[in-house]
Amino acid sequence: MTAGAVEPDEDMPAPPARPTVRVGAPTERRNPLSVDLDLMSTRDVLTVINEADRRVPAAVAAVLDEIATTVDLAVAALRGGHRVHYFGAGTSGRLGVLDAAELAPTFNSPRHWFCSHLAGGPDAMWRAVEDAEDDERSGTVEAASCVRAGDLVVGLAASGRTPYVLGALASARAKGASTVLLCANPEAEAARSVDVFIGVDTGPEVVTGSTRMKAGTAQKLVLNTFSTAVMVRLGRVYSNLMIDMVATNAKLRGRMISILVEATGCSEQVSQQALAAADGDLKTALVALVSGAEVDAARAALARSADQVRGALALLAS
């Protein structure tokens, strides 16, 4: 025995064996284009990764119909006073946290609209929490505690089989919520257990099983596409301008002026004056400038049209 080593106690019970699962998802298969990855030059490694990444947008394009259905479900839920939930583990879960966190500053969406849930809790955002994704009961309990009938629950799992995510989806479905599974395994068995299945066919990873790569990129693209489209449908974009943004710094305050100039054709000075008259409310200033109405009339029209710029302009035009 090595010096300093502790001799095992024969009477001490052995720790229970941890379960082992061999995943058959496409992301776990060998990529024939990268089998010599460790022998390549730095430039060739980068080329192989870059060429593999080019497959991702086309794979996302193939599931746009499913994403559109999910957008419509989310819009209906939010208009009905309900919420959208993301449940995920590892990279998938962290991407859900990131997407939800960006919506309030970009679109001034109420913070309760999008709720992100990460296997292992907040600490898992920064470091891996051992076996958290395998805890199906944790997902079940967490969803049962916060999901309500009428909500939309989106499960994020590269393999399509993560127990924490599937537990949350089953619990949400029992609560009367609509359910969606987003994964990189078009053949996932769980597809039959959700209302909408988004199986993005990104194929084998450059580094076998490293779903932070193509699978993660695909999930980021889908989430960006999904949540942005939801905000557009809810009237938080006018033309292609973010008119519900929160000006929390100098750059964003300047962007407000730029948006008014772009949307109305007015000068920077006129835009600044309109924004000041509207007490810094970008939508009110925009409606007032486009319609020619007074600030109070613009604010009233927005209130009557559920804060929709197009609706307010239509009211003022009539």
Count CB-CB contacts under 10 A for residue 301: 23
**Structure letter (DSSP) for residue 245:** -
Q: How far apart are the first and last CA of the chain?
A: 91
Contact 74, 84 (CB under 8 A): yes
The contacts of residue 300 (CB under 8 Å, 6+ apart) are none
**Active-site residue set:** 102, 133
Q: Which secondary-structure segment (H or E) carries 312?
A: helix 309-317
| Residue 274 to residue 263: CA distance in whole angstroms | 13
User: Mutual orientation of helices 295-304 and 309-317 as an angle, nearest 10°?
Assistant: 110
- Torsions phi, psi for 284 (to 5 deg): -65, -45
Overall residue count recorded for the chain in this entry: 318
The contacts of residue 153 (CB under 8 Å, 6+ apart) are 84, 85, 87, 143, 147, 168, 169, 172, 177, 178, 179, 180
| Residue 205 to residue 158: CA distance in whole angstroms | 11
Bridge partners (DSSP) of residue 271 are none
In degrees, rounded to 5, the angle at the alpha carbon of residue 241 between the alpha carbons of residues 54 and 306 is 120
Count CB-CB contacts under 10 A for residue 87: 32
